[in-house]
Chain A
Amino acid sequence: DAKTTQPPSMDCAEGRAANLPCNHSTISGNEYVYWYRQIHSQGPQYIIHGLKNNETNEMASLIITEDRKSSTLILPHATLRDTAVYYCIVRLDSSSNTGKLIFGQGTTLQVKP
């Protein structure tokens, strides 16, 4: 699986958009980009995933660059409850490697009032 690089921490003002970057320069064509977050003392929570197109759901938007070497998770209006560790994960689509989520260190997002 391609490795990912994320900044260790970021701050965001409440009500503003939070843009969390992820670098995955060695990603291959059949690898998906997944985002999870973990709020303190809770289990990881799925946010969004994508292959090459930008994706949006009720929680966030995922912007993947055309060369797929990086992506950005956007929380459009961050709230204090969005304070969490955000994990960018690249998952390989292959029959021999199914199921595995390999978590890195993630980005600690602190939303401030």
Chain B
Amino acid sequence: DAGVIQSPRHEVTEMGQEVTLRCKPISGHNSLFWYRQTMMRGLELLIYFNNNVPIDDSGMPEDRFSAKMPNASFSTLKIQPSEPRDSAVYFCASSLGLAVTKTQYFGPGTRLLVL
């Protein structure tokens, strides 16, 4: 079974550039989550969707960050303009709904380095 797919796996960009991270959830999963992991702050939830609708974006750090889910099989996380402090590993996860008993399955992550 294909798990959560993220692309690219690695991204190196220069400050000020736009960065787009992509995620394909597990087929049939209707909830999708974006997390960020840094050494300083650990794993943080940025935003999550249910049935393609954003439910909670309170973890999005700034207006430079935006996320969309145009359909059930695709989501993007965009940073514009990027800054060196955005360097982190970004994880996407999906689940069969938001109930507490529904397990979230994580992708392999995108390692972003902003120079």
Contact = CB atoms under 8 A, between A and B. Distances in A.
Contacts, number: 50
Given A32-B100, A44-B106, A92-B100, A99 B55 contact: yes
B43 to A, nearest CB: 4
Interface residues of A, number: 19
B73 interface: no
Interface residues of B, number: 25
A99 B42 contact: no
Dominant SS at the A interface?
A: loop
Interface string B2-15: 00100000000000
Contacts of A103: 42-44
Contact of B56 (A91, A99, A102): A99
Contacts of B100: 32, 91-93, 98
A113 interface: no
B101 A101 contact: no
Nearest to A42: B108
A49 B91 contact: no
19 contacts: A32-B101, A42-B109, A43-B91, A43-B93, A43-B106, A43-B108, A43-B109, A46-B104, A49-B103, A93-B99, A93-B100, A99-B31, A99-B50, A99-B95, A100-B45, A101-B33, A102-B45, A103-B44, A105-B42
Smallest CB-CB A-B distances: 8 pairs: A43-B106, A98-B98, A103-B43, A93-B100, A99-B98, A44-B106, A46-B103, A91-B100
